[in-house]
């Protein structure tokens, strides 16, 4: 479904407007109680509630284990304090899936312990939401969140206190598969437009698609996209079968959008032919939900058995 939305020309704009409500509550599906599933999943599926996803923070970025937002138990509530950044659809969402520390990092036995996951009302009286201007994907709002003394019911805690990190990874692996599919279809949309343009644009008496300098790179883009498509389908199948590691979920396409711009020549830089937008939107998939460098680090260590490629506390 998300491939179809993206390839239609809607790209990341169209797909982002719905994908959080598809992958985001995977932790609830896998770890929520029966009552929580009934209370949260049914309104989401019926379209009566929309959710956003609160993990990334200004000072920690991809280093999720070092996030600083906290929650302290106070009777039947937790009181949340901290900030989040790059939170999509927070301007319109009624609910938020949010990861915070319930045990300070210096008191946790391991960095991945002491993080807890909540799904709760996005209380706008306690949360300041500020939209972030950005390069692309303008149809979907992206925001920073600042909150203090945000009261969240204990009943909105998913699973056990302190087990949030392992639960959020189920949502993140699902997100990688979906975002990979969205990026892939931007590549196909760009390739379709550039192939049509190369068949119609005549230079030196011939369609430019007749020249190998144009034709061969486009053919190579198709081959790379097909390889990526098979990898993404494998990742989706393994995820559905319960495979928990993320190496197969870490593939997406960018080169096709870049090649589409180059194949259009100067018109590729113009908005009229849309391919410049595809390039801007495909750029996002190289940054989020995880960078190419982090993907290679994961594969190097987990698949190839190589030593850790950076220094840092375990």
Domain of residue 296, CATH code: 1.20.140.10
For residues 154 and 20, state if they share a domain. Answer: yes
Q: How many domains does the chain have?
A: 2
**Domain end among 162, 191, 211:** 162
For residues 59 and 204, state if they share a domain. Answer: no
Per-residue pLDDT of 3-25, as tens digits, reads 899 888 888 888 888 888 888 89
Query: Tokens standing for 236?
Result: 């989706």
For residues 175 and 141, state if they share a domain. Answer: no
**Domain end among 112, 144, 162:** 162
**Domain end among 162, 177, 201:** 162
Q: Residue 192 to residues 8, 32, 186, 294: CA-CA distances in angstroms?
A: 11, 43, 10, 30
Answer yes or no: is 128 within a domain. yes
The answer to whether residue 240 scores a pLDDT higher than 60 is: yes
For residues 201 and 267, state if they share a domain. Answer: yes
Answer yes or no: is 87 within a domain. yes
Q: Treating both helix axes as pointing N-terminal to C-terminal, what angle do 275-284 and 164-200 enclose, rounded to 10 degrees?
A: 160
Beta strands (DSSP E) in the chain are 51-54, 70-74, 77-88, 95-101, 115-121, 127-131, 142-153, 202-203, 206-207
In the chain, what is the greatest distance between 2 CA atoms, to the nearest angstrom? Answer: 79
The Cα 193–Cα 210 span in angstroms is: 16
Answer yes or no: is 314 within a domain. no
The answer to whether residue 151 scores a pLDDT higher than 90 is: yes
For residues 99 and 126, state if they share a domain. Answer: yes
Q: Which residues contact 228 (CB under 8 A, 6 or more apart)?
A: 180, 184, 187, 251, 252, 253
Q: Interior CA angle at 110 toward 106 and 112, to 5°?
A: 105
Containing structural domain, residue 233: 167-302
Compute the mean pLDDT over every residue in the chain, rounded to the nearest whole number.
85
Per-residue pLDDT of 272-301, as tens digits, reads 777 787 777 777 777 777 677 777 777 788
Query: Tokens standing for 10?
Result: 């809607």
The answer to whether residue 246 scores a pLDDT higher than 70 is: no
For residues 250 and 190, state if they share a domain. Answer: yes
Answer yes or no: is 142 within a domain. yes
Alpha helices in 129-274 (DSSP H): 164-200, 212-240, 255-263
The Cα 53–Cα 249 span in angstroms is: 19
Answer yes or no: is 46 within a domain. yes
For residues 112 and 203, state if they share a domain. Answer: no
For residues 158 and 173, state if they share a domain. Answer: no
Per-residue pLDDT of 164-187, as tens digits, reads 998 888 778 888 888 888 888 888
Cα pseudo-dihedral 285, 118, 29, 34, rounded to 10: -170
Answer yes or no: is 311 within a domain. no
Residue 314: predicted pLDDT: 44
Residue with the bigger pLDDT between 42 and 301: it is 42
Answer yes or no: is 308 within a domain. no
For residues 155 and 191, state if they share a domain. Answer: no
For residues 91 and 172, state if they share a domain. Answer: no
> Any idea what DSSP says for residue 82?
E
CATH code at 108? 2.40.110.10
Answer yes or no: is 309 within a domain. no
Residue 257: predicted pLDDT: 66
% residues pLDDT > 90 (the chain): 41
State the pLDDT confidence band at 112, using cuts at 50, 70 and 90: confident
Per-residue pLDDT of 184-232, as tens digits, reads 888 888 888 889 989 999 999 999 999 999 999 889 888 888 888 888 8
The answer to whether residue 311 scores a pLDDT higher than 70 is: no
Residue 207 has phi, psi (to 5 degrees) of -60, 140
The Cα 2–Cα 22 span in angstroms is: 10
Reduced to 3 states, what is the DSSP secondary structure of residue 219? helix
Residue 299: predicted pLDDT: 78
For residues 213 and 122, state if they share a domain. Answer: no
The answer to whether residue 123 scores a pLDDT higher than 50 is: yes
For residues 269 and 133, state if they share a domain. Answer: no
């Amino acid at each position: 479904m998300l491939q179809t939305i993206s390839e239609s020309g809607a790209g990341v704009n169209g797909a982002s407007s719905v994908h959080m409500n598809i992958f985001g509550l995977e932790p609830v599906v896998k770890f929520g109680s029966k009552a929580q599933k009934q209370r949260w999943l049914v309104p989401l599926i019926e379209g009566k509630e929309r959710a956003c996803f609160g993990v990334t923070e200004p000072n920690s970025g991809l280093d999720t284990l070092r996030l600083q937002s906290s929650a302290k138990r106070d009777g039947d509530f937790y009181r949340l304090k901290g900030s989040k950044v790059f939170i999509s659809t927070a301007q319109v969402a009624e609910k938020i899936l949010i990861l915070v520390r319930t045990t300070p990092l210096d008191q946790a036995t391991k960095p991945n312990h002491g993080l807890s996951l909540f799904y709760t009302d996005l209380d706008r009286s306690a949360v300041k939401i500020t939209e972030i201007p950005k390069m692309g994907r303008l149809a979907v709002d992206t925001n920073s969140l600042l909150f203090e003394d945000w009261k969240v019911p204990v009943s909105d805690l998913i699973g056990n206190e302190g087990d949030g990190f392992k639960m959020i990874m189920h949502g993140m692996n699902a997100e990688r598969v979906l975002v990979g599919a969205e990026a892939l279809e931007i590549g196909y949309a760009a390739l379709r437009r550039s192939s049509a343009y190369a068949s119609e644009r005549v230079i030196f008496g011939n369609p430019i698609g007749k020249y190998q300098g144009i034709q061969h790179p486009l053919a190579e883009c198709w081959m790379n996209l097909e390889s990526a498509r098979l990898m993404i389908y494998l990742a989706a199948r393994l995820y559905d079968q319960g495979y928990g590691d993320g190496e197969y979920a870490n593939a997406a396409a960018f080169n096709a959008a870049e090649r589409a711009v180059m194949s259009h020549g100067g018109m590729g830089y113009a908005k009229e032919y849309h391919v410049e937008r595809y390039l801007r939107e495909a750029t996002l998939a190289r940054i989020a939900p995880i960078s190419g460098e982090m993907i290679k680090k994961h594969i190097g260590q987990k698949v190839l058995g190589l030593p850790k490629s950076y220094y840092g506390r375990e």
